[in-house]
Amino acid sequence: MSKLSIKSKLLVMLLSVSLGSIALVATLNYMESYKTVQQSVFSHLISLRASRADAIEQYLEAVTDEVEVLADSPNMGVMLGQLSASFQALAEAELEPVALSALETFYREQFLPALDATVEGTPELLSVFPETNAGRYLQYHYLATNPYPQDNRIQLDDPGDGSDYSRLHDQWHPVLRRIANGFGYYDLFMIDIVSGDIVYSTAKEVDFGTNLIGGPHAQSNLARLFRMVQRNPDRSAAHIIDFEHYRPSFGAPALFVAAPVFANGRPVGVVAVQESTEALGRVITGNQQWERDGLGKTGETVLIGPDYLLRSTSRFLIEDPQGYAADQRAIGTPEATVERIIALGSPILEQEARTVAAEQALRGQTGTGVIVDYRGREILGSWAPLRLRDLDWAIVGKVDLDEAYEPIYRLARNTLIQTLLILVVITMVVMVLASSFVRPVNELIARVRRFGAGDESVEFGGDSSDEIGDLAHSFRELVESARKQTQLIEQASRENELLLENMLPQRFAQIVRQGSEDARETIPEVSVIFAELRGLAEITRSHSADVCVSILSEFLTAADSAARKHRAERVKTMGDTYLAAVGLSSPLLDHMPRALEFARDLRSLVANIAQAYELKLDLIVGISAGPVITNVSHDKELMFQIWGEAVIEADFARDEAERGQIVVNQAIRDALADRYQFERMAGERAVALWILTAD
């Protein structure tokens, strides 16, 4: 380094400082962006997981309520009693050999081959064949000789056999078919509570006419659910039983809901419905609108049962079955399992999801983190237990790590490219500046050398020593003067910047600094906070102006500090009113909880001020979320305005609030109901308002 010229040393030093500064700033920005992106994804996953959990709970509660109402309807006892009696009358209706052979042929050629493709082992005829005359009779007329295709047997009202059962079936089946289709049930059953006979089924699968106590399907989850209701036949008490492979539905996963039916005050039967996995799938997948829900290309929400098997379908099986199968083979899933999943078109009860998320959620724990999912991929996940009636499931919202961190990877690439470009520019600028800086010194050295060599023609403008001293002195004075001027300019600039930032939110202050004359903008998602200090007017009448000004100053200073903490931005103050917003300068996915926490802090600091001055001061806060319109103009006078529906609703909420209350609109309550407790404000209003009731 000591052998380098001044120019080279200057070049090395400036480049080193520039490179170090760029590297430090880039590293800090990357780390902060990494945390911000991760927190943003986690917040979105938590919100989505909570909303999906609520949707599943509401859906299953609705199904159980429907079954309870259906079982308790007056006609249900009549229908079930008549169909049971006519079913028992067929006990002696033995099929002719030709008809019995046709029923066996139906099983051997249609049902057993389809069942064999979806279950382990080879099913035998006797393990599924109806064991009673009534069951065989009904299956022959309603299954084996049904003129409608297999997936549309529900359309047959009367097979024309002339039996009393078929007459009643022709009377009641259209009604029950409309009910099943209207509610989206896969199948609807009527079961005699004493004998256990399935005396009616809308879908007409091979469980129709069989016995759930000793028949071929007595070990199914439908049979266990029937026995559960049979043992405790409480009126208007429906029960659910978890998914299991159901052989009458060709081994497909089936979930059942059942309730007892009463007639003349005593239980006479059980009505049960087989829930459609497609309907449940639409709820958990958000109608397969993953990208609309902010889950990108790899995000999804799944349900997991206590056996660590999926209770919902996989997005990847829906979108790319072959790719899904390849992923499962890659992580060691048995080939037979993969083939069954593809054949059934569903991973329910087949795909194992024994992950950290599932284990913790099934133990009752809620959490988020970076884990490995059921496909062997690293993900960002959010999980929680899902406690439902008779069910113990876990729910997991997740997105692949690569997709979640894509903005970070892109930022790193762009930062590297920008750094290289900046270094090239800095190198060129520094070389030019170094040459310019060194040139006068070299010229002065050359003149001194020429003079020292005896060249008397060199002009120094007088005594050479004095000229050099004057030059150094003048240079020092010039530098000092420039430094002072720069400091004054920087100080004035800082004061102007501070004044501007105190008057405007950060991004809009930047708009003014850039010289824009007028800037109007619609921001779709912002939380607006209207806070009003109640009691200051009364204090003004009883205390000196100094005390009132001191209280108001303390409040505004503390409010600004709390705003910075929660990334809220002060819009304006009007006497004892403080207007702020979250999400103005930059969009925030969690702007609603930030606004609520900011309001709670404001309330606490007002309580502290009131206690310190021994005065009666309270805060009322109105909060709303939604779109706002902003406008910055500084043609003659600097003005910043914010208006729109969210501002109006926040102002309305503040007007309706009482001392010490935090009142929010419907949007905030719906989004944060799983994290905070709210109580609806009494009275009729054009806008629904909610009071934060628990801290």
- DSSP codes, 365-433: --EEEEEE-TTS-EEEEEEEEEEETTEEEEEEEEEEHHHHTHHHHHHHHHHHHHHHHHHHHHHHHHHHH
Tell me the sheet residues that pair with 154.
none
pLDDT at 30: 64
pLDDT of residue 396: 93
Amino acid letter, residue 253: P
Q: Are 208 and 201 in contact (CB under 8 A)?
A: yes
Cβ contact 103:208 at 8 Å = no
pLDDT above 60: residue 370:
yes
- Given a cut of 80, whether residue 203 has pLDDT beyond it is yes
In this prediction, residue 478 has a pLDDT band, given cuts at 50, 70 and 90, of very low
pLDDT > 60? residue 240: yes
> Looking at residues 555-572, what average pLDDT do you find?
91
Q: What phi and psi, each to the nearest 5 degrees, are found at residue 388?
A: -120, 170
Residues 104, 125: Cα–Cα separation, whole Å: 8
Q: Phi/psi of residue 585, each to 5°? A: -75, -35
| 515-527 mean pLDDT | 78
Of 118 and 62, which is predicted with more confidence? 62
- Tokens representing residue 614 in the block: 């021994």
pLDDT of 109 reads 93
Residue 406 region by backbone torsions, left for phi larger than 0, else alpha for psi between -120 and 50, else beta: alpha
**What is the distance in angstroms between the CA of the first residue and the CA of the last residue of the chain?**
64
- The per-residue pLDDT for 472 is 42
pLDDT at 588 over 70: yes
Position 468 scores a pLDDT of 47
The answer to whether 74 and 175 have CB atoms below 8 angstroms apart is no
Average pLDDT, integer, range 555-567: 92
3-state secondary structure 141-171: HHHHCCCCCHHHHHHCCCCCCCCHHHHHHHH
Residue 224 has pLDDT above 90, yes or no: yes
Cα distance between residue 181 and residue 186, in whole Å: 8
Residue 96 amino acid letter: E
CA distance 297 to 401: 12
Amino acid at 455: D
Q: What is the mean pLDDT of residues 288-304?
A: 87
**What is the three-class DSSP state of 305?**
coil
Residues written for the chain: 695
Lowest mean pLDDT among 338-342, 351-355, 463-467: 463-467
d(CA 264, CA 198): 21
At 9, the amino acid letter reads K
Average pLDDT of the segment spanning 290-316: 89
CB 504 within 8 A of CB 516: no
How sure is the predictor about 7, in pLDDT bands with cuts at 50, 70 and 90?
A: low
Taking the C-alpha atoms of residue 675 and residue 692, their distance in angstroms, rounded to an integer, is 11
pLDDT tier, 1 (very low <50, low <70, confident <90, very high otherwise): low
pLDDT band at 464 (very low <50, low <70, confident <90, very high): very low
Three-state secondary structure call for residue 589: coil
Is residue 646 a contact partner of residue 627, using CB atoms and an 8 Å limit?
A: yes
SS3 state of residue 87: helix
Rounded CA gap, 303 and 575, in Å? 53
Between CA 512 and CA 507 the distance in angstroms is: 9
Mean pLDDT of the chain: 85
Residue 426 has what pLDDT? Answer: 79
Query: In this predicted structure, what is the pLDDT of residue 39?
Result: 81
Alpha carbons 269 and 624: distance in angstroms, whole number: 52
Quick one: average pLDDT of 239-248? Answer: 93
Q: Residue 680's pLDDT is what?
A: 92
Closest listed residue to residue 620, CA positions, set 646, 633, 602: 602
**What is the per-residue pLDDT for 455?**
67
> Which distant-in-sequence residues (6+ apart) come within 8 Å of 674 by Cβ?
50, 54
Mean of the pLDDT values across residues 202-208? Answer: 95
Worst-scoring range by mean pLDDT, 110-124, 361-375, 510-524? 510-524
Structure tokens at 669: 């309550």
Q: Which helix (H) or strand (E) holds 58?
A: helix 6-72
User: Quick count: other Cβ atoms within 10 Å of Cβ 629?
Assistant: 15
Q: How far is CA 197 from CA 132, 276, 620, in A?
A: 10, 23, 65
Q: Which pLDDT value is given to residue 110?
A: 92
Tokens read off for 109: 């050629």
- Please tell me the least confidently modeled range out of 132-146, 270-284, 459-473: 459-473
Percent of the chain with pLDDT over 90: 45
Query: Can you say how many angstroms the Cα of residue 553 is from the centroid of all Cα atoms in its chain?
Result: 40
pLDDT of residue 479: 36
Position 499 scores a pLDDT of 47
pLDDT-derived band at 462, boundaries 50, 70, 90: very low
pLDDT of residue 456: 58
pLDDT value at position 247?
93
Q: Which residues pair with 300 in a beta bridge?
A: 398
